[in-house]
Amino acid sequence: MKSVSTSGPQLVVAADELTHIDTSPSTMLPIPGSRMFEINEALKVYLAREPDGTVFDASQGDGGASLPGVSRELLDEAHRLQIEHGTGYDKPFGTPAFRRAVVEDYWGLDAATGWGPANVIACQGGRDALVKAYDAIQFLGHQRRGDFVVVSRVPWISYNWGPYAMGANVMLAPGLEDDAWALTPEGIAACNETAAAHGGRRLALLVITSPDNPTGRSLSPERQIALARAAFAAGVPFVLFDWIYHRVTDEDSHDLNAFLNALEPAERERCIFLDGLTKSLGASNIRNAHLVAAEAVVKFIQSRASHAVIPSFHSQAVAMAAYRMGFDKAAADIIEPTNASRKVVESFLADHEIRHIIGKGYYAFLDMAPWLEKAKLADASELGTVLAERFGLAVVPGGFFSDFGKNWIRFSYATPPETTAGALDRLWFALSSL
C-alpha cells in the first residue's frame, strides 16, 4: 500500500490534473478601465463656467439615476422578505423561491419546453452572469482556453474585455454600417475561418444582443434563431442571448417559451439567456440578473459559484417582489417614460435628417460624420469633449466601443420626455454652432 506523507506538502489534485503552465499573462494587453463611469465628469467643466446652467446627461442607461428607479413599495417588500428569510447562507444558485419566481412569475415557462427552476441561476448583476457564462462555455464547449468569443462589430464596451479576462479572445464579426453592424450567417462563417488562421483557434461562443447596446438595434426572434443556427453549423458550442434591455419596449418583449419551442431540443442545450433588473427596473446598484440555460451549464456555474460569488438574497428579493407584482406594473416608472422619450427622439431625428440607428431599449446611435468634417474634429471622442465642456451635454463617443463606431455617438434617452427633448435641442444647438 502506497504511503502518504503527513508532514510534507500535499497536492490538492493529482499531478496529471494540474493546470498547465500558461504564460499568456506576460503577453496579454492590460485591460483598461471602463470610461463609461467617467464621461459625465466633463460636465463639471461646463458648470464651472456656467454655474447656473442646465446640463443634460445623455451618456448613460441607468434608470435608477435618471428615472425613479426601484419603487419604495418594492424595496419595502424586499426588506420584508429579507427579514423573513434571515441572513444565513443561501445556495450558490440563489434560492429556490427566486428560481420559481423567474420561471412562474416572470417568464411563465411552459413545462412542455422541458425547462424549469433547475435551468435558472441567480447572479450578482449582468457582469457576474457573463463572467460565469464565459467560464462555463470554455470548459463545457471545446474544453480549452484561448478560443474566440464573437460579438458584433460595435459591441458593448465590456464585451471587448470581459471574455479576455477569463482567458478567451474576442473577435468583432463583420457587419455593415447601413445594417447597424448586425451579425449575419456569412459573417459568422468568416469568423470561423479567421479563428482557424490564428493558431488553429475555434469559436467558443456567439453573443447576440437585442435590443443592442450601444446601437439600439433590435433583431426579430426569427433572425436571432437563424444566427444561432448559423453558429451551430460553424461548430460554435454555445450562443448567449443578451436580453437585458428587451422589456424596455413599446412592442412585445421577448417570449422565451416561443423561442425555446422554435428550437430543437439539442439546440436548446446550447443556448444561454441573460436577463435582469438593472435596465428595465432601474436597479443598477441592486445587482440582480439571472441566466436560463441547460442544466449542465447551470450545475457547472453553481459548483464554481460555491467557491466564488454567491448572489445576495436582497437582490433576489427585489426581483421576486417585482415579478410577483407583475413586471410590467413594477417597471412602469422606467419603461413608460423611456418609451415616450423614444418617440421624441425618432421625431427629432427625422425632422433634422440625422443619420441614425434606433430600435428599442435605451439608446440611439447617431452619425456625426458631417459635423466632424465641418469642425475638423478627428472623431466623436473629440466631439464628446466639446459637447460636454462647451455645451453641457454628455454623450458616449462611439469609438469607446470600437473603432468602427468612431464617427458616431450613443445618445441615451432613459430620461423623462421633456428632459430628452431638452437634450436633443442642446445637441442641435451645439452641432449648429460648429
In order, the DSSP letters of 195-255 are HHHTTT--EEEEEEESS-TTT-----HHHHHHHHHHHHHTT--EEEEE-TTTTSSSSPPP-
Check residue 198 and give its pLDDT.
Answer: 97
State pTM to two decimals: 0.96
Check residue 37 and give its pLDDT.
Answer: 72
Check residue 5 and give its pLDDT.
Answer: 63
Question: If you count them, how many residues does the chain have?
Answer: 434
Check residue 4 and give its pLDDT.
Answer: 62
C-alpha dist (Å) from residue 287 to 52, 277, 384: 35, 7, 29
Task: Please tell me the distance from the alpha carbon of residue 154 to that of residue 402, in angstroms, as a whole number.
Answer: 5
CB of 150 closer than 8 Å to CB of 181: no
Q: Which residues of the chain have pLDDT under 50?
A: none
Check residue 38 and give its pLDDT.
Answer: 76
Check residue 144 and give its pLDDT.
Answer: 97
Task: Please tell me the distance from the alpha carbon of residue 47 to that of residue 391, in angstroms, as a whole number.
Answer: 10
What's the CA angle centered on 220, arms 420 and 262, to 5 degrees? 145
- Cell for 71? 419603487
Q: What's the longest Cα–Cα distance across the chain?
A: 86
Task: Please tell me the distance from the alpha carbon of residue 214 to that of residue 217, in angstroms, as a whole number.
Answer: 8
Start-to-end Cα distance in the chain = 84
Check residue 23 and give its pLDDT.
Answer: 95
CB of 48 closer than 8 Å to CB of 315: no
Q: Which region holds residue 85: left if phi is over 0, alpha if psi is between -120 and 50, else beta?
A: alpha
